[in-house]
Amino acid sequence: MSSAGRSATAAYIGPFVVFVGVMALEHTLLPNSQVLYPVRFIAALAAILYFWWGRLDLRPSQPLASIAIGLAVFVIWVAPDRLFHYRHFWLFDNSIVGSASSSIPANLQITFWFLLVRTLGSVVLVPILEELFWRGWLMRWLINQDFEKVPLGTYAPYAFWLTAVLFASEHGPYWEVGLAAGVIYNWWLIRTKTLADCILAHAVTNGVLAAYVMVGEHWQYWL
C-alpha cells in the first residue's frame, strides 16, 4: 500500500480506533463507570479534526429522507422492547453479547455536564466516526483493499452483509436491531452515494434515542 493509501486508511479508521481504544482502556481501568467518557469524546473529536478538517462533506443530498430514515431506525430500535419485552431472552442476554443494562452510575444520570457530553457524543461524534469506518472504509475495503478506487455506495453482496453483521456485533445485546440498522444504513448509502446522508440519518436516530433515554429514564439503551 502506498503512503497515500495508508494515509487515507488512517483517516477513515483513525477516529473510530481512537474512540474504541479509549473506551476499552476505560472499561479495563474503571469497569462499570463512564467518568472518562469526556476523554473518549475529546480524543475522537481531535482525531476527526486532525484527519478531516476542511475535507469532510457534511451536506446531505436528501436531508428530509435521511431524517425520515433516522426516525424509522429509532422506531425499529425501541419497538421490539416496547411490544414484546424479550430483551432478557438468552439470545440477547448472555456472556457473549452482554446484557441490556446501563453502565452509567446513578449519579451521572443526573449530572448535567455528563449528559451534555454524552448526548453530543451520540449525536455529533459517533455518527461521523462510525459512518467513516463502517460504510466509508470497510464496505469498500471488502470489495477492494485499495478502497479509494471503489465509489461510495458500490454494492457487493458479501461486503454489504458482512458490514451489517459486524456493525450489529458492535451493539451487544441489541445486535438484532443493530443488524436491521446496519442493513438500512448500508442501503441508504447505496441509494444516496454520500456519507453525509448516512451521517444525518445516524445522528437523527441517536438524537431521538438520547431524548428517549433521558426523558423516559430508559438508561439500558446507553450501555
- The number of distinct structural domains making up the chain is 1
| CA 19 – CA 176 distance, rounded (Å) | 23
**Close Cβ partners of 123 (under 8 Å, ≥ 6 residues apart):** 203, 206, 207, 210
Domain with 95, as residue range(s), is: 58-221
Whether 39 maps to a domain, the answer reads: no
**pLDDT given for residue 5 in this prediction:** 56
DSSP codes, 14-42: HHHHHHHHHHHHHHHHSTT--TTHHHHHH
**pLDDT given for residue 30 in this prediction:** 77
Cell of 101: 443494562
Whether 108 maps to a domain, the answer reads: yes
Whether 163 maps to a domain, the answer reads: yes
Whether 20 maps to a domain, the answer reads: no
Which of the residues in the chain have pLDDT under 50? none
Whether 10 maps to a domain, the answer reads: no
Q: 94 has which bridge partners?
A: 98
pLDDT tens sequence across 82-140: 999 999 999 999 999 999 988 888 889 999 999 999 999 999 999 999 999 999 999 99
The residue with cell 448535567 is: 112
Query: Residue 66: what residue type?
Result: S
Task: Write down the number of H helices and E strands in the chain.
Answer: 9, 0
Whether 77 maps to a domain, the answer reads: yes
Residues in the chain: 223
Whether 107 maps to a domain, the answer reads: yes
**pLDDT given for residue 26 in this prediction:** 82
The residue with cell 494515509 is: 7
Cell of 49: 479534526
